[in-house]
Amino acid sequence: MAGMLRPFVFWGQKNDSVSLKIDLRDVTIDNVNLTEDRLEACFEGVGAHGNNKYGFELDFYLPIDPDKSKVRTTDRAVEFSIKKKGAEVWPRLTEKQEKLPWLKIDFDKFAFEDEDDSEEDADKLAADEIMKKLEKDLEENQPPSIDMKATYIFTYNFLQFVGFLYIVIVLSYNFLKYGSAAKERAFESVGYQIMFCQTAAVLEVIHPLLGLVKTGAFAPLLQVVGRNLILFMLVLQDVRLQIAPVVWYLLMTWSTVELIRYPFYMFSSIGMDVKMITWLRYTAWIPLYPLGILFEGTVVIMSIPLFEESGKFSLQLPNAANFAFYFPWFLHAYLLVLALGGIQMMKHMHILRKKKLGSKDSLKKAA
């Protein structure tokens, strides 16, 4: 029985008998082997580990009389009335002095079938008391449950916060150390980090689709697609864009937004509302979002003549697909999409701000 689940066993005694109560509901007895010195028992029923097979073995402190011992099943337990061979109180139930976590003392001793019928009500009351104590014991010893969804969301937002914090620190340090020359090396300094963080941000489109967060997927989709287009299809493709000072401003703006947004979602995932972070989440966008749109638009405008020159991502006729695509025209159209999408995003944030902070948008009200 080494690998078998153990049920909770409550034991009590009188001078001439020992009582055992095995806490299993809807139980059937598979096997009981009771000898003078030992009890081995196997059951199938509903216990602390659900509907399963349970079993245990006990070596008695002193010999018992198996012929005069009894066992019965009820809806809520298996009950043993074990007759001692001698009339004396045992200092413990088991032969060896050992601590068995599943074996507990029943301080409210109860009667069995061989006692008077007049004590039946007392039996039920005692059994109810035992069940209440058992339930309380299970609640006290039950390990705290872990919300895996909240843990995952918290971890994701925390790691993204650390990533963007690193970007801000590096960009700021280089600027303080090298001055304006550091702006030309912004992408060289944190390019891999920003690309990793923005690639990971694709998960923010997947999270609402899987029901991991309550927000919609459309807003994060627009942001992820827009940023990744600027980052991977424009800046990454031409070193002349990478050394443009506007890229330093763009990366700083993006990262500053995320240094507020990710802690907000991080604490929200565990039910915490940090007033200062909440206020910043619904206020800092007012200057940062227009700046981000301005810098993104500047990068697009700067890239148009570069892609006209290189012809990259453009498809000219004749070709096997019989389809033409001129990437600079797409960039012209994207400028309009960027402006309209930015306006809609700011309207959306304004509505959320009014709902969250109210009509008075002071920090004092948020606090």
Confidence of residue 318 (pLDDT cuts 50, 70, 90): confident
Instruction: Check residue 91 and report its DSSP letter.
Output: S
Report residue 281 CA to chain centroid gap: 23
Per-residue exposure over 14-39, b if at least 16 CB sit within 10 Å of its own CB, e if not: eeebbbbbbbbeebebeeeebeeeeb
Which residues belong to the active site? 289, 296
Domains annotated on the chain, with CATH: 9-141 (2.60.40.790), 148-366 (no CATH)
Q: How far apart are the first and last CA of the chain?
A: 60
- Measured from the Cβ of residue 278, the count of other Cβ atoms closer than 10 Å reads 20
Q: Using CA atoms, how far apart are residues 61 and 40, in angstroms rounded to an integer?
A: 15
Nearest to 174 by CA among 194, 157, 189: 189
Cβ pair 56, 9 in contact under 8 A: yes
pLDDT score for 362: 44
Q: How far is CA 145 from CA 111, 142, 150, 157, 209, in A?
A: 38, 9, 12, 21, 25
Task: Give the residue from 262, 304, 303, 295 showing the smallest Cα distance to 280.
Answer: 262
Q: Quick one: pLDDT at residue 203?
A: 96
Residue where the block lists tokens 């109210």: 358
Residue 166: phi, psi to the nearest 5? -60, -40
pTM for the full model?
Answer: 0.60
Query: What tens digit of pLDDT does each residue of 44-81 get?
Result: 988 888 888 999 999 998 999 999 999 999 888 999 99
**Residue 136 pLDDT > 70, yes or no?**
no
Computed on alpha carbons and rounded to an integer, the radius of gyration of the chain in Å comes to 36
State the pLDDT at residue 140. Answer: 57
Cis amide leading into 318 (omega within 30)? yes
The fraction of the chain above a pLDDT of 90, given in percent, is: 60
pLDDT at 189: 96
